[in-house]
Structure 1
Amino acid sequence: MEKVSINDLNEWTYPVLHSGKEWYVDFFAYDPARGKMRRKKFMLDRYKTARAKKTIAAELIHNLVAKLKNGWNPFVNAGRTRLFTPWAKVMERYRQYLETAVSKGQLKEKTAYDYRSRLRQLELYQEETGNTLGQVSQFCREWAVDYLDYLLYDKDVTARTRNNHRTYLSTLGAWLVDRRYLTQNPIEDIRMLREEEKHRDPLSERQLQQLKEYLNEHNPYYLLACLMVYYGNIRPEELRNIKLGDISISDQKITVRSEISKNRKTQSVGLHDEIVRLMIRLHTFDGTADQDYLFGRDLRPSREQTYINHFRYEWQKVRQALHWDSRFQFYSLKDSGIRDGINAMGLIYARDQARHSDVAVTNLYAKPSHEPHEESKHWDGKL
């Protein structure tokens, strides 16, 4: 018997009739208490004739298959069997519920459309990260927190958008509780973010130097990613989709294609001298093709792009090595780059480099100084 994952509690084999000295129907199902597949046997010897045994066996097999497909497990408490219903099957019923609720006027079409859209986002997350839900019991607080962090840090959504997804998850959790798939809503104690809340801080000049020195020695390929975010203001999800053909060394620019850009526009940003120098040192364009991703599985150019959370996982290692607080995140590099770009080159430059639609958005990154600017003491006034 092939080994079954402990997360695959809905695994089972089709019931089979055995005849001979003993007549019985048996099948295997996953026993969570033992952590392995276990045989379940139904004896038929009390029926006197072969014909009766075959008739009963056929009916028994039919009923068992129906129950097993519906998530029943003979080795799990009867009151908890719905916990192990396959997630895909439950979502199929959920979609049917949305359809019916709209047709009966219990739900607005716009609301149902929004729910289906958010459900599709959940499915895309599972496809991209491999953090898949096998059965309903896996829809838990930890899974939901990972998903919301993915939206906030990898997809770069606002606190408001993240909160909207949290509200949807809670609505979905309540539906699952109502239908007895779950005993309690796992989303209830996940807090909402204040929508003006800053969930990360920019890096100081000293921290930026620490980062550069550390990565130059330990991981120069990840340093290239950090420089791209700091100088190019490129978002992590855009970064993993950049191909070598999007980069022009002669023009010193990177083109962020509409299909990978957050704002769905094709725009170019300047390629800083620091980035060019590091690319040359790392031989980034040697033996590569335009269709290769700049950051592959090992953060080197490759036909296969890096996985969805790679930049964030590498950042956690850096943060631990440098003993930084959790408020300093990979995306803090973009905050720091925009701040320093405003100070060095002005607001309009920073707006265009960050690809913001309005300087008001860019200006949010410019924190007021509590010390007087040196220029205020010496500029050439007209009075």
Structure 2
Amino acid sequence: MVENIGLSTNRTLNPNYQIVNTTPEEVSDNNRTYCKQRFNFTAMKDKPYTEPELKRNETHESRNPKLTKSQRVLAEHWFIEYKYTDLSLNLVNQRVKNSKGMNKFTDAKLKEKNAISELESLKSLLEEGWNPFNEESNINLRKTIVSITIPESINLYKNFLLEENLRRKTLQTYESKLKYFGEYYPLLKVNQVTNQKISDFLKFQRTDKKWSSKTYNAAHQIINALFTYLLNANYVTENPVKGVVRLKGNTTPSDLHKVIKDEHFKLIRDYLAINDKFTEFFVTAIYYTCIRPKELRQLKLKMVDLSNNKIVVPSEISKNKRTGTIPITPMFKEYLKQFNLDSFPKENYLFSSASSIGGSDKVGENTPYYRFMSCLKKLNLDGEGYTLYSVKHTSNVARYLGGWSLAEIMAVNRHGSISQTETYLRELNKFIEFNDKEVPL
């Protein structure tokens, strides 16, 4: 059975084809030329198929002279027949028959109406490139010709993001920007989107909604991510956002997740040590392991191997979907002793609900984030551009300045490339003194 790909409006065709061979079962390379010659390409008029026809075969029952015209119509065996050629599949002049659902009617007029509708639907499908023998080709055809609207693509992408288990706040940011995009182009197909249309949308929002450069660039990034998803899913052949320029403004990528200044980091650690031991542990764990906050929330005690001084982050919770191993440094191991982790069930979580250690339920999705931001606010540091990811950036800069190589930093962060690691060191020039350095001769 070949599913209807719905290339035309209000089509109900769902062919179940009976294939009748009129050529040898396998057309070899040696006799393909012969098959081409005996096939009447002129009759096809540059199409790989002959015109579909509705055939009405008599049956033993339909030959009964006592039947009325309507009864005879119902007793006949009706089917649609045509011939199709696909040389890539070694098919030449292949006869195709479809009778599914055509002979089950109890009303002659309905049978005829349905048959005509089936015939016209099949003709339209074939004209638009549908292939009765190649479902993979039909799937691509559905995506390139039928395509989907921008709101439909946004719904698909939102489902994809939900499977990625992003933080609720991140999802809300994506949804708000994509909502504007879908409302601006409610009927536009994704394969009709150009960089000019995206520019028009962003410029309108900039003017009408008074978007700042930061909001404009955030929307640019989110729409770019949407079309990257659509490109990977074969709904589009290129990403139109690539030709749209971001705005220059006071906010640059380095304004997010800034490296925490030494004096500020000391203030944060001292405050948490007195007022919020749970968040202090969470921040310390990020600093010593460079495990992402989302991964840390899902870390179970069985993944913390104190005997072998390592933490294993399994693929099911890892951002890159690969199992990774992080060393437990001597200082971090000494720090962990105060929690007596071996006294808890191994299936329990390192960071659990109710802001406790070693509980059966993992800590809430946004709990560490909100508690860390609350700390920053108490210390009047909430305007410095610091986030939980800043702790990871701070750790990477400290490692580099402490003599770690880029390869070692890449390994502990479980990055896929050195260039990815270098993004964490983008503020390194602020921490390096050149005054005492001589240029080698």
TM-superposed deviation, 1:249: 0.8
Asked whether 1:376 is paired with 2:376, we answer no
In structure 2, the residue matched to 1:340 is 398
Q: Give the counterpart of 1:120 among 159, 163, 171.
A: 159
> Considering only aligned residues, what root-mean-square deviation do their CA atoms show, in Å?
3.9
In structure 2, the residue matched to 1:320 is 377
Asked whether 1:147 is paired with 2:171, we answer yes
* Shift in alpha-carbon separation, 1:268–1:146, aligned structure 2, 3 A: closer
Residue 118 of structure 1 aligns with an amino acid whose one-letter code is: Y
In structure 2, the residue matched to 1:301 is 358
Q: Is the 8 A contact 1:212 1:223 kept in 2?
A: yes
Superposed CA offset, 1:251-309 (max 9, x none)? 221111101111111011112334322321123332x1111011111232111111111
Q: TM-score, normalised by structure 1?
A: 0.54
* Shift in alpha-carbon separation, 1:242–1:113, aligned structure 2, 3 A: farther
Aligned residue-pair number: 245
CA distance in 2, matches of 1:371, 1:345: 13
TM-superposed deviation, 1:221: 2.2
Question: How do residues 95-114 of structure 1 correspond to structure 2 at under 5 angstroms?
Answer: 105-108=145-148
CA distance in 1, matches of 2:379, 2:386: 11
Residue 292 of structure 1 aligns with an amino acid whose one-letter code is: N
Residue 182 of structure 2 aligns with an amino acid whose one-letter code is: L
In structure 1, the residue matched to 2:260 is 203
What secondary structure, in the 3-state scheme, does the structure 2 residue paired with 1:200 have? coil
TM-superposed deviation, 1:114: 5.0
Asked whether 1:280 is paired with 2:337, we answer yes
CA distance in 1, matches of 2:361, 2:395: 28
In structure 2, the residue matched to 1:355 is 414
CA distance in 2, matches of 1:237, 1:370: 28
Residue 171 of structure 2 aligns with an amino acid whose one-letter code is: Y
Superposed CA offset, 1:32-85 (max 9, x none)? xxxxxxxxxxxxxxxxxxxxxxxxxxxxxxxxxxxxxxxxxxxxxxxxxxxxxx
In structure 2, the residue matched to 1:58 is none
Q: Is the 8 A contact 2:151 2:186 kept in 1?
A: no
Q: Give the counterpart of 2:388 among 311, 330, 334.
A: 330
TM-superposed deviation, 1:341: 1.1
TM-superposed deviation, 1:372: 3.2
* Shift in alpha-carbon separation, 1:197–1:250, aligned structure 2, 3 A: same
Residue 351 of structure 1 aligns with an amino acid whose one-letter code is: M
CA distance in 1, matches of 2:284, 2:301: 16
* Shift in alpha-carbon separation, 1:265–1:338, aligned structure 2, 3 A: same
Structure 2: gaps spanning 5 or more residues: 1-141, 189-204, 222-251
Q: Is the 8 A contact 1:224 1:275 kept in 2?
A: no
What secondary structure, in the 3-state scheme, does the structure 2 residue paired with 1:328 have? coil
Asked whether 1:168 is paired with 2:178, we answer yes
TM-superposed deviation, 1:212: 1.8
* Shift in alpha-carbon separation, 1:103–1:203, aligned structure 2, 3 A: closer
CA distance in 2, matches of 1:118, 1:249: 40
Q: Greater CA radius of gyration, 1 or 2?
A: 2
CA distance in 1, matches of 2:276, 2:187: 47
Asked whether 1:192 is paired with 2:232, we answer no
CA distance in 1, matches of 2:358, 2:327: 20
In structure 2, the residue matched to 1:98 is none
* Shift in alpha-carbon separation, 1:117–1:272, aligned structure 2, 3 A: farther
In structure 2, the residue matched to 1:27 is none
What secondary structure, in the 3-state scheme, does the structure 2 residue paired with 1:268 have? strand
Percent of paired sites with the same residue: 17
Superposed CA offset, 1:302-342 (max 9, x none)? 11111111111111211112110331111100110111111
What secondary structure, in the 3-state scheme, does the structure 2 residue paired with 1:331 have? helix
CA distance in 2, matches of 1:362, 1:128: 22
Q: Give the counterpart of 1:291 among 347, 367, 384.
A: 347
Q: Is the 8 A contact 1:202 1:335 kept in 2?
A: yes
CA distance in 2, matches of 1:370, 1:233: 20
CA distance in 2, matches of 1:372, 1:122: 43
TM-superposed deviation, 1:113: 8.3
Q: Is the 8 A contact 2:295 2:318 kept in 1?
A: yes
* Shift in alpha-carbon separation, 1:275–1:103, aligned structure 2, 3 A: closer
Asked whether 1:364 is paired with 2:414, we answer no
What secondary structure, in the 3-state scheme, does the structure 1 residue paired with 2:312 have? strand
What secondary structure, in the 3-state scheme, does the structure 1 residue paired with 2:341 have? coil
Residue 158 of structure 2 aligns with an amino acid whose one-letter code is: L
Q: Is the 8 A contact 1:118 1:168 kept in 2?
A: no
CA distance in 2, matches of 1:234, 1:345: 20
Question: How do residues 53-68 of structure 1 correspond to structure 2 at under 5 angstroms?
Answer: none
What secondary structure, in the 3-state scheme, does the structure 2 residue paired with 1:376 have? coil
* Shift in alpha-carbon separation, 1:278–1:192, aligned structure 2, 3 A: same
Q: Is the 8 A contact 1:342 1:349 kept in 2?
A: no
Q: Is the 8 A contact 1:128 1:308 kept in 2?
A: no
CA distance in 2, matches of 1:305, 1:116: 29
TM-superposed deviation, 1:355: 0.9
Q: Is the 8 A contact 2:309 2:327 kept in 1?
A: yes
CA distance in 2, matches of 1:177, 1:323: 47
TM-superposed deviation, 1:376: 3.2
CA distance in 1, matches of 2:153, 2:398: 39
CA distance in 2, matches of 1:103, 1:376: 59
Q: Is the 8 A contact 2:151 2:182 kept in 1?
A: no
In structure 2, the residue matched to 1:256 is 313
What secondary structure, in the 3-state scheme, does the structure 2 residue paired with 1:263 have? coil
What secondary structure, in the 3-state scheme, does the structure 2 residue paired with 1:208 have? helix
Residue 411 of structure 2 aligns with an amino acid whose one-letter code is: D
In structure 2, the residue matched to 1:268 is 325
TM-superposed deviation, 1:369: 4.2
CA distance in 1, matches of 2:432, 2:170: 40
